């Protein structure tokens, strides 16, 4: 099963984002960014279960920069 992924710039942002999503009842997990999704060497992502667009909007509203959004199929 493909995952919905939000690529973030650091592990600090990933954990902060996860906490924000948790408060909005959106389940997510912090993961290392899958190979090929990040132009940088090391980044972290959130695997999001549920509404990816809503999750991304919530994070942007709270000042968390999303480097890339990947919708699972």
What phi, psi does 25 have (nearest 5°)?
A: 65, 35
C-alpha 32: how far from chain center:
10
Question: Which residue, among 3, 12, 17, has the nearest Cα to 62 in the 3D structure?
Answer: 17
- Per-residue pLDDT reduced to its tens digit, 43-71: 899 999 988 999 999 999 999 999 999 88
% of the chain exceeding 70 in pLDDT: 89
CB 54 within 8 A of CB 14: no
Question: Which residue, among 26, 29, 22, has the nearest Cα to 8 in the 3D structure?
Answer: 29
């Amino acid at each position: 099963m493909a995952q919905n992924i939000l690529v973030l710039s650091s592990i600090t942002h990933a954990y902060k984002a996860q906490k924000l999503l948790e408060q909005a009842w959106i389940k997510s997990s912090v993961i290392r960014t899958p190979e090929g999704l990040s132009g940088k060497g090391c980044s972290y992502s959130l695997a999001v279960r549920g509404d990816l667009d809503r999750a991304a909007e919530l994070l942007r509203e709270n000042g968390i920069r999303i480097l890339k959004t990947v919708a699972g199929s």
